[in-house]
Amino acid sequence: MSKIGLIVGREIKSKITNKTFIIMTFLTPLIMIGAMAMIFWTAMPEKIDQKVLVIDNTHMFEQILRGNDFISLTFTNDKIETAQEKFQKSDYTSILYILGGAEGTIIPTARLFYKKNPGLAFQTYIKNELERIFYEQKLKANNIDPVVIANAHQPMQITMTKVDENGSVKNSDEIQFFSFGMGLLMMMFILIYGMMVFRSVMEEKTNRIVEVIVSSVKPFELMIGKIIGIAIVGIAQFTVTVIISSVLGIVLSGIFLKDINNLKTKFDNQKQIVNKLGSNAGAANLAIDDSFHDNKKMFDVIDKLNKINLFEVGLYFVLFFIGGYLFYSSLLAAIGSAVDSEADSQQFMFPVMVPLMIGYFLAIKIMISPESNSVIIGSFIPFTSPIVMMARIPLGVPTWEVLTSLVILYISFGLTTWMAAKIYRTGILMYGKKTSWREIGKWLFYK
């Protein structure tokens, strides 16, 4: 055990003194949080005031077409030629010119003249408002009350509630993209740190360093020491990533908190109106606009994220990461010892990569059919269980299933380690010979 400890210490020291490893340890959370902040920032509504001069030849939209917090509309009876002549010297950013037959006998068309492109959000808002008003005018022309039609379209919410084996209920209304993200993250971590073991074995074998090392320790002790050492480094790096990400998350949340609070206040006010008056709120021209539905989606996602037990998810993530890493790293260490170059390893790497890809596709399937037979089976097969079970846990999984999956995973690690050790002790000192599957099969039975 003392020799294994020395090898573990050597692996840890070689990694933590590597400049690239240190830089990436601190740079990775910065990149992750930076990307998330960029996505969040771009998703936030940008306050670019648009002053629009409206020329309505149909007289159908006058004083009915309305703007919002960022768009102000001014109606005029000027001709379009006159408006265009004055446009460049005016404060207006756009001219909305509406053409068509009066009283809705002909579908209106609109042209937008602008100094700077106002963007897709502006175009979508104006288009939706024009279509809504024309739709209501057509209904009124046929003696149909738009309020009656609006009230017939009431939104319904379905809350997902799971009943466990004890008959108690548990809200499982979490977002499935989060579950897929956890499965994807698990696959990435297993692959990254498993490949560290593979490359470490390959490097020592090609540099003939291993010949000196195995004169002092047994090949099995060398393999186990490498696996444990890189596992410790991986957990430490993961911990540092979580800490840095949490600190940056708190800082960035403070920056965006003001905008979020303002949106939340506006959303809550609109929600109260909608709950009280239903679709009449929109028809009555109250403080309801298209942003309400977009904000509702965003705050629904935030509420669902808050319902997830992050401590439980984090604990199981560490347990499945350790088990999955140990399982795959032993196989990758055996492959690294059996070949002389990374190019020769392709035929052996393929069977190892396929189960990881199957786990990835099963994690995608969880978003569509989380209780399908293939997903359930994949949760217990050790080749795919770290990814699939980790993707299922946020959606609610019975404790006995999680524990059974962990037990099978760790028992399988013991079996793969035994097999890998058989291959490792022979392959690590084998040079200049093309290794085949048949040759590896013989190594398993060497005494």
Mean pLDDT of 111-117: 86
In terms of DSSP bridges, do strands 71-76 and 50-56 run parallel, antiparallel, or are they unpaired? Answer: parallel
Rounded Cα distance, 10 and 16, in Å: 10
How high is the mean pLDDT of the chain? 75
**pLDDT at residue 180 is higher than 50:** yes
Say yes or no: 430 and 316 in one domain: yes
Say yes or no: 373 and 281 in one domain: yes
Rounded Cα distance, 260 and 40, in Å: 11
In terms of DSSP bridges, do strands 161-163 and 71-76 run parallel, antiparallel, or are they unpaired? Answer: unpaired
Rounded Cα distance, 253 and 236, in Å: 25
The mean-pLDDT minimum among 223-227, 290-294, 364-368, 382-386 falls in: 290-294
Say yes or no: 382 and 315 in one domain: yes
Say yes or no: 193 and 85 in one domain: no
The CATH number of residue 135's host domain is 3.40.190.10
Higher pLDDT, 98 or 306: 98
pLDDT of residue 260: 57
Most confident of 92-101, 174-183, 258-267, 273-282: 92-101
**pLDDT at residue 1 is higher than 70:** no
Rounded Cα distance, 438 and 440, in Å: 5
**Which residue has 């949106």 as its token pair?**
263
Rounded Cα distance, 273 and 78, in Å: 38
Most confident of 192-206, 291-305, 325-339: 325-339
- The values of phi and psi at residue 370, to 5°, are -65, -20
pLDDT of residue 169: 52
Is the residue at 162 inside a domain? no
Say yes or no: 219 and 247 in one domain: yes
Helices 219-277 and 310-338: crossing angle in degrees, nearest 10, is: 150
Number of compact structural domains in the chain: 2
Is the residue at 166 inside a domain? no
For residues 382-392, b (16+ Cβ closer than 10 Å) or e, as one string? Answer: bbbbbbbbbbb
Say yes or no: 214 and 77 in one domain: no
Of 144, 162, 192, which residue constitutes the final position of a domain? Answer: 144
Rounded Cα distance, 22 and 20, in Å: 5
Is the residue at 114 inside a domain? yes
Closest to 198 in 3D by CA, of 219, 236, 226: 226
Say yes or no: 26 and 57 in one domain: no
**pLDDT at residue 301 is higher than 80:** no
Say yes or no: 195 and 326 in one domain: yes
Say yes or no: 181 and 304 in one domain: yes
Is the residue at 359 inside a domain? yes
For 323-341, the pLDDT digits (tens) are 888 888 888 888 877 776 6
Q: What is the extent of the structural domain holding 351? A: 2-39+173-443
The model scores a pTM over 0.85: no
Radius of gyration of the chain (CA): 31
Of 144, 163, 192, which residue constitutes the final position of a domain? Answer: 144
CB 317 within 8 A of CB 325: no
**pLDDT at residue 396 is higher than 70:** yes
Tokens of 353: 């990569």
Q: What is the DSSP string of 51-107?
A: EEEEEESSSSSTTTS---SSEEEEEE---HHHHHHHHTTSS-SEEEEEES-GGGSS-
**pLDDT at residue 285 is higher than 50:** no
CB 419 within 8 A of CB 337: no
Q: What's the helix, strand, coil split of the chain in %, to 5?
A: 65, 5, 25
pLDDT of residue 404: 93
**Which residue has 């347990």 as its token pair?**
319
Say yes or no: 109 and 198 in one domain: no
Say yes or no: 112 and 189 in one domain: no
Say yes or no: 418 and 308 in one domain: yes
Closest to 14 in 3D by CA, of 321, 218, 232, 341: 232
CB 52 within 8 A of CB 74: yes
Is the residue at 44 inside a domain? no
Rounded Cα distance, 94 and 118, in Å: 8
**pLDDT at residue 361 is higher than 80:** yes
